[in-house]
Amino acid sequence: MRRGHFSLSDLPAWCVLNDVTFVHVKSADINDRGYGLVAEKSLADEDGSSDIPALLTIPRDLVLSAEGVEEYAKENKDFRQLLDTAGRRSTRGDVLLFLLVQLVLSSPDYKGGQGPSTPWTHYFSLLPSYVPTPTMWTESELFHLKGTSLESAVSAKLTTLTKEFDDLRTKTASLPFWDEIFSIDESITIQDWILLDALYRSRSLGLPQSGEAMVPCLDLVNHSSKANAYFDENRNGDVVLRLHNGCNVSSNDEITIDYGKDKSPAEMLFSYGFIDPDSTISSLVLPLDPLNDDPLATAKLHAFGTSPKLRLAEDENGIPHWTAPFVYLMCLNEEDGLHFRVLQETDGSRHLKMFWQDIDITHEPDGIIDHIRGHELYPIFELRVITVLLGIFQEQLEQLSDKKDGGMTPGSTREEIWLAVSRLKSLEMGILKKCLVLLEEEKTRLLEDDKVLEYLNSMMSDQDDIAAGTASDEEDFS
């Protein structure tokens, strides 16, 4: 659906009408960074004085939160029907439905009387029609993510968005107004839904009182790991932007906030479409799949409850550490003491229970390591885990180093995407290589452990006995 027109030059009038106040700052178009906020004069908060006014104040009734969505539903019956039919599952989902209505109301293609416009109806047209998050990249650009931690994450996200949109169309088929919007000339398409999701992910933030929300004008403020400002809510529930204590800002300097100190490069690229070059965070998250030959794979996944992840992160000394509770489940079997039972309740319901050495651990699947640590075969379990992780890391590195696509070269894709993916690959290759070195050292240590050597020798002896028995059975004495 076509977007309405609302330029940056129209914003001051909109702010006056809606009681949004700027103090010594103004919105501006900043080179290579889109819209942002800059200081109109030199600003300083040298002693953290509470007397310094907020740089930006946005009234509570403009905040697009769960509460704001509910308030709008009271005013607009068509939106209320849409929310009751297809929403009320999450704040994100409800906000996306609200944005969908604003897209319709603000579009020059819309001629109906679907309800009164809101301040957000006009402000929505100021939001970009393209967000550089990977879900909006072209297919050829997405191909460059091969081997990175984002490859599976973006694919899963696009699958989820497609399913959400299909479900939305199915559910709105019973609502005449919305069925017409979706059906006639495909006024609303999957690309619109992907855009709304990208807008939400790149512009939502966590407020102390209101929770996850989008805040007009505050969403113009760009990111910096050395931010000079922060946002908060005052006693009235208004959102305010303030200078950090001790900050000095010169005239025409940009006002920035920190989008998240602990976000990895992949998280920043996934949610915001860029990687902070000054960030010192080095981490990644990979999906974990059960071993192909594991007969208990389905039961383990069901008992674990959530999608298994492998998390790698470097500490302040640059030493990588890994966290993956599910990998211990992957490496245990019935002979070790892991069992599953299906229990039937008196009401007829059935539940899968997981046991370790006859101890019910159904409700603590991610704490399996605490139960096996005292087992006499724990060094063997560790060796299995290290071996599995080595395989995962080596395979990931091979994919990152794969040159079958001709390599990444400037000009084959948009420059900002080329730079971001190149940076991501370099960072992830670095932490994976460090992990491989540490794991190889740990594997060497375990292979020198007396219990491990005794176990491996006994296993070899058993295999020799089996082989000898097989050979004996096959001898022909005729």
Furthest C-alpha separation in the chain = 105
Q: Are residues 413 and 330 in the same domain?
A: yes
Pick from 112-126, 200-214, 286-300, 325-339: least confident: 112-126
Q: Are residues 296 and 418 in the same domain?
A: yes
Q: What's residue 460's pLDDT?
A: 78
Give the span between the Cα atoms of 196 and 192, in whole angstroms: 6
Tokens of residue 100, six digits = 């969908």
In a domain, 477, yes or no: no
In a domain, 422, yes or no: yes
Average pLDDT of 125-146?
Answer: 94
Share of the chain above pLDDT 90, in %: 74
190, 223, 257 - which closes a domain: 257
Checking phi first, is residue 24 left (phi over 0); if not, alpha (psi -120 to 50) or beta? left
Q: What's residue 177's pLDDT?
A: 83
Q: What's residue 406's pLDDT?
A: 47
The pLDDT-based confidence of 180 (bands split at 50, 70, 90) is confident
- Looking at the structure of the chain, the number of domains it has is 2
Q: What's residue 347's pLDDT?
A: 82
In a domain, 275, yes or no: no
The pLDDT-based confidence of 5 (bands split at 50, 70, 90) is confident
Q: Are residues 314 and 394 in the same domain?
A: yes
Give the span between the Cα atoms of 267 and 428, in whole angstroms: 12
Q: Does 47 have pLDDT greater than 80?
A: no
Q: Are residues 37 and 137 in the same domain?
A: yes
Q: Are residues 222 and 288 in the same domain?
A: no
- Beta-strand pair 320-323/309-314: antiparallel
Q: What's residue 446's pLDDT?
A: 95
The residue to which tokens 């976000």 are assigned: 263
Q: Are residues 351 and 429 in the same domain?
A: yes
Tokens of residue 93, six digits = 């989902």
Q: What's residue 400's pLDDT?
A: 92
Q: Are residues 138 and 29 in the same domain?
A: yes
The pLDDT-based confidence of 468 (bands split at 50, 70, 90) is low
Share of the chain above pLDDT 70, in %: 91
Q: What's residue 323's pLDDT?
A: 95
In a domain, 124, yes or no: yes
Q: What's residue 78's pLDDT?
A: 87
CATH of the domain at 443: 3.90.1420
Q: Are residues 376 and 451 in the same domain?
A: yes
Q: Taking Cα atoms as reference points, which of 367, 366, 428 lies closest to residue 399?
A: 428
In a domain, 307, yes or no: yes
Q: What is the pLDDT of residues 68-124, one digit of tens each?
A: 999 999 988 889 999 999 999 999 999 999 999 999 888 888 776 655 678 999 999
In a domain, 192, yes or no: yes
Q: Does 471 have pLDDT greater than 80?
A: no
Q: What's residue 3's pLDDT?
A: 85
Q: What is the pLDDT of residues 318-344, one digit of tens each?
A: 999 999 999 999 999 999 999 999 988
CATH of the domain at 144: 3.90.1410.10
In a domain, 270, yes or no: no
Q: Are residues 221 and 316 in the same domain?
A: no
Q: What's residue 464's pLDDT?
A: 52
In a domain, 378, yes or no: yes
Give the span between the Cα atoms of 439 and 416, in whole angstroms: 35
Q: Are residues 235 and 330 in the same domain?
A: no
Q: Are residues 112 and 67 in the same domain?
A: yes
The pLDDT-based confidence of 412 (bands split at 50, 70, 90) is low
257, 291, 310 - which closes a domain: 257
Q: Are residues 294 and 252 in the same domain?
A: no
Q: Does 230 have pLDDT greater than 90?
A: yes
Q: What's residue 195's pLDDT?
A: 97
The domain of 382 spans: 282-463
pTM equals 0.88
Q: What's residue 472's pLDDT?
A: 53
Q: Does 408 have pLDDT greater than 70?
A: no
